[in-house]
Amino acid sequence: MKITREEVQHVARLARLDLADTVLDTMAEQLGGILDYMETLNRVDTDGIAPTAHAVSQATPLRADKRRPHLDHEAALANAPERDKESFIVPKIIS
């Protein structure tokens, strides 16, 4: 299956990745090869087969709605690349 570099670039944009020109070509070629291989799945007739998302299925588990300890504010901020006393700092979003 032929995947163009424009298609890879579009998908990279969706995935918030910024691929260099040289990487785009390699990725397009590898992706094409991998997707060719995926085509083998079309040999299987799956009409009427229900899809599986989880192999060990369970009903939605419920728990008591009560207060419990949670992550301390400072601990939650400790790994932030940029922060002040109480918040994560990010680049300006609205100019």
Residues that bind another protein (CB under 8 A): 7-8, 11-12, 14-19, 23, 27, 30-31, 33-35, 37-38, 40-42, 44, 46, 49-56, 58, 60-61, 63, 71-72, 75-76, 78-82, 88, 90-93
In the complex, least distance from residue 84 CB atom to another protein, rounded to whole angstroms: 14
Tally of CB atoms within 10 A around 28? 19
Min. distance of Cβ 68 from another protein in angstroms?
A: 10
- Tell the smallest beta-carbon distance from residue 85 to another protein (Å): 16
Report how far apart, in Å, the C-alpha atoms of 89 and of each of 13, 84, 92 are: 24, 7, 9
Burial (CB count within 10 angstroms: exposed 0-12, middle 13-18, buried 19+), residue 8: buried
| Residue 5: partners with Cβ closer than 8 Å, 6 or more residues away | 24, 25, 28
- Beta-carbon contacts of 73 under 8 Å, excluding residues fewer than 6 positions away, are 86
Residue among 25 and 78 whose Cβ is closer to another protein: 78
Which residue lies nearer to another protein by CB, 17 or 25?
17
Least gap, CB of 33 to another protein (angstroms):
6
